[in-house]
Chain A
Amino acid sequence: MYPIRKLKADRSIGGLIPVLGMLAIFGLSTLLFDITVGLLIGAVMIWIYGLYCLFVFLRMGNLGYLIVCAYCLFLGVMAVLTSQNIEGGRDPDIQFRVAWISGVIFFGVLLIYLAVTKKIKWRGREIFELAAAPVESAGDGYTPRPRPIGKVEFSKQEILAFARFAAKNLISIVYYGPRQVTFVPVKMGDEYTHPFRLRGSYHEATWINFDFEGEVSVHIAQKDYLDYQEPLEFDKLCESLGQLFIEFVELQNKGEGVRIIDRMDALRLNYFS
């Protein structure tokens, strides 16, 4: 049985824009110049995307993005070699063909694995669905103010351990402050802008804040609130989001981090949403 969805269906194509843009530029440069130039420009764009993946790997510690980065590097190199072969009027030799095919199979299998296991999926949508699950009543009452949730007994080390886990599993982007750690859940489609935001610029976004004295507070951005099908009771929604993260920290502290992933996977959201 599929769980009841409280978010609107995801119809945004934000996540596809880089790929569509690359295709358009590749096609246009091929049309204006020739295929060799198109391939070179394509290689540069793929490497730029690879750099983005490397940045995400370094920022979040997610190994999946390192694999995507390696794939981009491989694809770019192959595109440059293909371009040189075409320019020299040579047919690709057997080594090139073997490298090309084996590389595509190797990375193809890895990428399918990453997609199926959702290891490179940004989990913002799952977070918002889980937070809304216990909120039954519709009632609106949106305010841009943050909501204090309460005090918890977690140590600084426990909060930091969860922060590493949350970042690695793309549950949220983590901002470290001298007195607190802030979690910013990111939905698929928003992943190209959020990781580049500096500390202090996330205040307009949805965030969950744990200070090292145990105070937990939550802020839900209006954009995310409007993404729900119904105007849910805002106070309850904030409380539920805060409690969800408190529960996550507890599970992680008990060594049951995998349960967090299981709960999100149980929602059966598709990879691109």
Chain B
Amino acid sequence: MDFQTAARLGSLLAKDYAEDIFELLVNYQAISASEVATRLDLHIKTAQDFLEGLAELGIVSKEEILEKKRPYYRYVLKQERIQIDIDLMEIKRKPNPDHLSMLIRERENAGARFSVARSDDTITSVTIWSGEGREREERKIKLTTPQGRFLYHLPFPKAEPLSVGGVMQKAGIAESLAPEILDLVQLLEKYRVIENLT
């Protein structure tokens, strides 16, 4: 199951009437949205949205009924179990060799403020300002220890740029930590604190 599907399912399951609707779906052979709404004292739109959501996720099937003046749907439970199974490794970023060889350094007049740890050998946070005038906002980014070490060893503005991998090596950061370093590099590049000279 992908993350978005799991999020939609989670959001449906989090409704305080979810268990009651499932109880009806389990015990009734088929049920319409208006039947659910009147049985549980819900607004018809609420019941309809919930059942539509389940139908989109494939948990119930719906059948169009034409016996009344206006056609309507009856919903039938398709699954006896609901499992949320997300492979988190799917969203893990794999370090791209191209990203690790990117030549970077701090941008001149970046306007960021760097807070140094008491030990003077790592940076604990970066404060960035974005926007203009009234829209100007301050954003403080707390850094992990490897990120702090990385930023501490980042070449100065106008200094000879180094590759991301080179800075990591200089800072003694293991290659397995590349995803969190690249995440920081991308963020700081977006906020124009780091410049990419590749």
Contact = CB atoms under 8 A, between A and B. Distances in A.
Interface string B168-189: 0010000000000000000000
Contact of A180 (B110, B119, B153, B154): B119
Interface string A104-135: 00000000000000000000000000000000
Interface stretch (B36-44, B76-84, B93-101, B156-164): B156-164
A234 B158 contact: yes
A203 interface: yes
Nearest to B154: A145
Query: Which of the four size classes fits the interface of chain A?
Result: 20 to 34
B119 A146 contact: no
Interface residues of B, number: 21
A143 interface: yes
Nearest to A142: B157
A200 interface: yes
Given A145-B151, A146-B116, A215 B156 contact: no
Given A141-B108, A144-B114, A211 B119 contact: yes
A178 B121 CA distance: 14
Contacts of B118: 177, 200
A180 B110 CA distance: 30
A211 B120 CA distance: 9
Given A141-B158, A143-B157, A145-B116, 20 more contacts: A140-B158, A141-B108, A141-B156, A141-B157, A142-B157, A143-B156, A144-B113, A145-B152, A147-B156, A148-B152, A179-B119, A180-B119, A203-B116, A211-B120, A211-B121, A215-B121, A219-B116, A233-B158, A234-B156, A234-B157
